[in-house]
């Protein structure tokens, strides 16, 4: 029973939001009030515990997701503080993959901002139950109810208002708890540790009673048993109300809404209570499912210590030259010095050390059980998204999806000493970050580093210099284009060559057909077994796909084409896999050259937030960048311009926007699609 109760008391939560909504500030207050830290670290002073990297402290933003554990009452809360900048979306994605619940933090002035939408959708994708915390209610222009309306409109969420603010802007003093019908006020001189729970002031009582009624009505619409009592006007006990809210949150039917001001130390203790009361433990969610690596049988991994081990590596970090793997244990137990099996690589891995994490600090433990999020040292081959399990009970958990990079820079070492280090350092960064890609340009010999945005690449270059003392020259960012073909093209190729005393022969005829944008590449064979034996079809597909990696126009990867094998010639005893791969590659390259190739630009979804006075200048600037304005919306005193713009014209946009708006405009962008230049 002890183990079951322990799992029921675990909460694995993530804090997700748009940049500057106050995620890290909320996390710092949680750590302080739970006794995990003894001093409140402020983001603006560069002292936040969870923003421990020098780049995070300098820029005042979260770059890498940090893990920590704290206790509140009977519960153990494992928190991942995630970045809010779109360039580091992968950190949010892989964190949400392993979390059981999330707190969406919204700025009461900005409301639901673009990256808030992105991370909310990511949480929806992984079916993560959520609580909303409307922050910064002390700021001028804060709108609690305006933010709730935006949640309905933009997130299609069903908010359940559990708290109302007492006062607003400079007069914000506390909250009204609609479940217990009490008023909670914080004293400004005690760092938020001391607060008073009292009867609701008569000025707020009528509003509180109205929203208490709406609270019960919203729950009644979800559950029939509550509806019966509500219609019969029977009183509904507080305990029953709490249980219904918890059930509706875990079932993704409602999103409890709380409020406060983290920077002013108001509203955090009730938020902690809500985390424990409403978000699920690992035992409350359906068991994660995997497949047997050889039979393909579906396997349920129950959140029990006694079950076979099933764990997912969701992040890899290189710290002090050592590889640290962040692991979520879904079932079973991990013990130091024991082996775990990686079914993706078919290898055993030694669990040299198991660590509990507190940002960049760690503590050694002998074992970790189901529901835990821990750091593991000693995994040599395993990487992000791979499974660790028991060799006697192999299971393969669903892999993680990663985004394709859209922007590149050329990096070259400044000295010979840097040359030796550069490849090793970049290899470490790529092990950490699956959205970072490196390729060698055969023509120039340069290393081309591709990432998710300018800030992403700036941080990598900065870390190279700080952490690894590797100095590089950085070329102007280059856009990662794609190529495709204008018209259908058909050709043949013959490979007939003697290599190492053996003759290799193959003839292939293929047709390349252009497809609609976003269709990706396809391959099919229309020849029967007598013309080309089926055994060689995979070798032909390999040759075609390799040829499509470098187009005929400018050498960029080719997309949106279908390669169809229409004929060929096979000579018994001379036909080999090598011959078919090479002849297919030759035929594909010729067909590309004949197909009138053209370039595809990466097109970005851009949202610009700008005061009304500057809207004309901003639209003019976007038009000059070949942007297409899709909509202009008014939101809380500002205009939101939505546009699509080719990435090639977005370099340096942040500087232009600051100049055009006296520093008051902000923007976000993310990859939308590829389209003709």
pLDDT tens digits for range 116-135: 777 888 788 888 999 999 99
Task: Check: pTM over 0.75? Answer yes or no.
Answer: no
pLDDT tens, 161-176? 999 999 888 888 899 9
Q: Is the pLDDT of residue 253 over 80?
A: yes
pLDDT tens, 459-504? 888 878 777 788 888 876 667 788 999 999 999 999 999 888 889 9
CA angle in degrees (0–180, nearest 5) for 236-239-245: 85
How confident is the model at residue 198, as a pLDDT? 92
CA-to-CA dists, residue 195 to 137, 191, 269, angstroms = 17, 10, 9
The more confident residue out of 536 and 81 is 536
Which residues sit opposite 75 in a β-bridge? 72
Residue count of the chain, please give it. 677
Give the mean model confidence (pLDDT) for residues 208-227: 91
Give the mean model confidence (pLDDT) for residues 294-308: 89
Average pLDDT, whole number, for the chain? 84
Cα 14 off chain centre by: 11
The more confident residue out of 451 and 347 is 347
- Whether 175 contacts 163, CB under 8 Å: yes
Q: For 168-267, where are the alpha helices, taking DSSP H only?
A: 202-222, 224-231, 238-250
Q: Is the pLDDT of residue 299 over 80?
A: yes
Give the mean model confidence (pLDDT) for residues 32-52: 58
**CA 550/CA 437 separation, integer angstroms:** 16
- Whether 590 contacts 491, CB under 8 Å: yes
Cα 628 off chain centre by: 27
Q: Is the pLDDT of residue 215 over 60?
A: yes
Give the mean model confidence (pLDDT) for residues 72-95: 73
pLDDT tens, 590-646? 999 998 889 988 888 888 888 788 889 999 999 999 999 999 988 655 788 999 999
């Amino acid at each position: 029973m002890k183990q079951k109760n322990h799992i029921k008391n675990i909460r694995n939560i993530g804090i997700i939001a748009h940049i500057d909504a106050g995620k890290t500030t909320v996390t710092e207050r949680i750590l302080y009030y739970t006794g995990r830290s003894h001093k409140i670290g402020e983001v603006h002073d560069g002292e936040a515990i969870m923003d421990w990297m020098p780049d995070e402290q300098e820029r005042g933003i979260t770059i890498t997701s940090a893990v920590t554990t704290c206790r509140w009452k009977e519960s153990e809360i494992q928190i991942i503080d995630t970045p809010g900048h779109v360039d580091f979306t992968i950190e949010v994605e892989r964190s949400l993959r392993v979390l059981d619940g999330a707190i969406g933090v919204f700025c009461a002035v900005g409301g639901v901002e673009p990256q808030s939408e992105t991370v909310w959708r990511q949480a929806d994708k992984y079916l993560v139950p959520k609580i909303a915390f409307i922050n910064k209610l002390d700021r001028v222009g804060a709108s609690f109810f305006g933010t709730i309306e935006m949640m309905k409109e933009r997130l299609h969420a069903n908010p359940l208002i559990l708290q109302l603010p007492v006062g607003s802007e400079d007069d914000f003093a506390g909250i009204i708890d609609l479940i217990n019908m009490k008023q909670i006020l914080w004293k400004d001189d005690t760092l938020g540790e001391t607060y008073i729970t009292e009867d609701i002031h008569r000025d707020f009582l009528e509003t509180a009673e109205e929203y208490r009624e709406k609270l019960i009505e919203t729950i009644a619409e979800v559950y029939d048993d509550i509806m019966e009592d509500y219609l019969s006007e029977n009183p509904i006990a507080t305990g029953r109300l709490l249980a219904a809210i918890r059930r509706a949150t875990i079932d993704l039917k409602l999103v409890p809404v709380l409020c406060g001001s983290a920077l002013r130390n108001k509203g955090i203790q009730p938020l902690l209570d809500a985390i424990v009361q409403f978000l699920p433990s690992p035992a409350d969610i359906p068991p994660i499912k995997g497949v047997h690596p050889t039979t393909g049988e579906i396997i349920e991994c129950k959140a029990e210590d006694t079950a076979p081990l099933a764990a997912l590596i969701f992040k890899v970090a290189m710290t002090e030259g050592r590889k640290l793997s962040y692991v979520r244990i879904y079932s079973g137990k991990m013990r130091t010095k024991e082996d775990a099996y990686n079914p993706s690589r078919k290898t055993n891995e030694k669990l040299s050390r198991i660590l509990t994490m507190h940002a960049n600090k760690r503590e050694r433990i002998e074992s970790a059980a189901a529901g835990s999020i821990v750091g593991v040292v000693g995994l040599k081959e395993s990487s992000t998204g791979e499974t660790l399990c028991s060799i006697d009970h192999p299971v393969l958990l669903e892999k993680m999806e990663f985004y394709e990079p859209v922007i590149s820079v050329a990096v070259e070492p400044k000295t010979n000493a840097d040359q030796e280090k550069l490849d090793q350092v970049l290899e470490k960064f790529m092990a950490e970050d699956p959205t970072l890609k490196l390729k060698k340009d055969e023509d120039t010999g340069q290393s081309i580093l591709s990432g998710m945005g300018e800030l992403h690449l700036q941080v990598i270059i900065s870390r190279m210099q700080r952490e690894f003392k590797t100095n590089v020259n950085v070329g102007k960012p280059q856009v990662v284009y794609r190529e495709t073909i204008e018209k259908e093209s058909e050709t043949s190729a013959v490979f007939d060559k003697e290599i190492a005393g053996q003759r290799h022969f193959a003839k292939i005829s293929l047709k390349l057909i252009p497809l609609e944008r976003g269709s990706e590449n396809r391959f099919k064979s229309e020849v029967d077994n007598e013309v080309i034996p089926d055994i060689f079809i995979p070798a032909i597909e390999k040759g075609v796909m390799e040829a499509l990696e470098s187009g005929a126009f400018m050498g960029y990867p080719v997309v949106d084409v279908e390669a169809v094998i229409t004929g060929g010639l096979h000579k018994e005893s001379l036909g080999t896999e090598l011959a078919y791969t090479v002849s297919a590659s030759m035929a594909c390259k010729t067909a590309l050259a004949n197909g009138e190739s053209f370039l595809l630009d990466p097109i970005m979804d851009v949202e610009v937030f700008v005061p009304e006075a500057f809207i004309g200048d901003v639209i003019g600037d976007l038009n000059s960048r070949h942007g297409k304005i899709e909509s202009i919306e008014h939101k809380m005193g500002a205009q939101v311009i939505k546009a699509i713009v080719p990435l090639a014209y977005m370099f340096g946009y942040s500087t232009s926007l600051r100049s055009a708006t006296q520093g008051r405009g902000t923007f976000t962008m993310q990859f939308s699609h590829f389209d003709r230049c």
